[in-house]
Amino acid sequence: MNDLTPSYEPDVGQVILEGRPAGPAGEAGLVPVTGVDLAFDRGDGHLIRVVADAPDQTTAALLTRLFGPQAACVLDELVTSAAEPGARVPALSPEPVLCAALSSLARLDAARDTSPAPRRSPWWAAEAAVLAEQAGLHDRARAETGRLRSGIVPHRPCTPELDVAAEVEELEKDSVRRPGLNWMLDLALVPAGLFRPGLSPHTDLLVRHEGGAGFVAVEAVLAPGADVADAGRCQARLVDPAVRRVLAQADCQLTESRIRAELRLPFPRDELDGAWIEVVEGPHRPVRSAKAHLIRRALRWADAALRAERAPAGLAPQSTAEDWTALSVIAWQRCRHDWAAAGDSARATAPPVPGAQAPGPAYLAEVLGY
C-alpha cells in the first residue's frame, strides 16, 4: 500500500499529501494540471507527495481521479477543520493504474533532461504523448504530438564516443587514486539543453590535469542544436564549498562541438581535497555548500545507475550487457557513498529492491540513439 497523509497549510491555501520519502534515486516531479504538483520516486516509482492549491474544479477533478470519489469529502473536511486542534483525517491511497501512468511520465521527463540522447529527439515526445494520453492528460498529449511532428528528422545516431566498458575502466582506476578534486556538471546551473551529459558524472565534465603547467583543462560536450551564445555566457570555476568561495574561474571557449576552459590551480592538486570544479552560467552564481554538492552528485550517480540498468542499446551499440551491469554497480556504490558523505544514512544504506530501480524498458530515444 502507498498511503499518503493529508494536511492543510492555511497560510498558503495548499493541501499537502505526504507518503514514503524518496530513496537514493531522488524525486521526479510532474505538474499534470495547473495547481497540482506531484513527486514520484525515480527508483521504484511510488507517489511521494502531492501539493495542491485549494481545490477548484480542475484540481478537484484530478485529485478525485487519483484518490477516488472519497477524496473530495476528505479534503473538504481537512480544510474546514484546519483550525481545530487535533483534527485528524484518513490517509488516501492513489489509484494504481493512473498513478503508474503519471509516475512513468514524470520519470521520462527526468530522464529526458539528463540523457545523452538528444532532448529534441522526436522519440521522447512520442513516448511522452502515449503516457500522457494514458493518464488522461489530453492537453499534454496534444502538445507532445506537436513536438513530435515538428521534430521528425532523418536518422542521426549518437556519436561513437560513448563506451560503457571504457567508462567502467576509468571509474575503477579513479577509485584507487588519492583524494583530490571533485567535479560535476550540474545541469541546473547552466542553460537548459546546452550540454550533452555523459554516461556518468565522471564524464559529464572532462577534467585533465596538466601538472607542469599548474592548471586543469575542463571540457563539456555541447548538445546537438545547442545555442552557442549560451555557451559564451558560461564559466568554469574551482570552488571551496566549506567557505563558499571561488578559488579560480575562467571563461568557456567554444571549440568545435565542445566548450573548454583552463583553470589555474591556486594550490597543488593534492591539497585541494574538498574543492569542486563546476560550470555555471554567469559570474555571480553563489557557491553552494559541500552537502548540497554531494546531494546533487548522489542524484546524478543514481540517474546514471538507472540508465545503466535499462542498458539502452542506441547510446553505446558496441557495449555488452555485462558492461552496463558493471556501470550500474559502480554508479550505485558512488551514489550511496555521496549520500553517506552528505550525512543521509537512510539513503546511503537503503537496500536495493530487485527489479524496482529501473523504470521499465529503455526509452525509445535511447534505444534508437537519436
User: Helical H runs in the chain?
Assistant: 57-67, 70-80, 96-114, 122-134, 138-151, 164-174, 201-204, 228-232, 290-310, 321-341, 345-349, 364-368
Domain range summary for the chain, segments of one domain joined by +: 5-113, 164-288, 292-368
Task: For the chain, give the mean pLDDT.
Answer: 88
- Residue 117 CA to residue 141 CA, distance in Å, equals 21
Phi, psi of 232 (to 5 degrees): -70, -15
Distance CA 228, CA 226 (A): 6
pLDDT number for residue 86: 57
Q: How many other CB atoms are found less than 10 A from the CB of residue 184?
A: 21
d(CA 135, CA 107): 14
Of the two residues 235 and 313, the one the predictor is more confident about is 235
Give percent of the chain above pLDDT 90.
67
CA–CA gap between residue 248 and residue 266 (Å, rounded): 7
More confident position, 354 or 292? 292
343 torsion bin: left (phi>0), alpha (psi -120 to 50), beta (else): left
CATH number of 164-288: 2.60.40
| Among the listed residues 228, 209, 230, 219, the one whose alpha carbon sits nearest the alpha carbon of residue 261 | 219
Q: In this structure, what DSSP letter does residue 241 have?
A: T
For the whole model, what pTM was predicted? Answer: 0.91
Give the confidence band of 355 by pLDDT, cuts at 50, 70, 90. very low
C-alpha cell at 339: 549520500
Q: Tens digits of per-residue pLDDT, 228-265?
A: 889 989 999 999 999 999 999 999 999 888 999 999 98
pLDDT at position 154 over 60:
no
Is residue 43 within 8 A of residue 357, CB to CB? The reply is yes
Q: At 117, list the grid cell.
A: 540522447
Is the confidence at residue 288, as pLDDT, over 60? yes
Q: Taking a C-beta distance cutoff of 8 angstroms, is the pair 38, 106 a contact?
A: yes
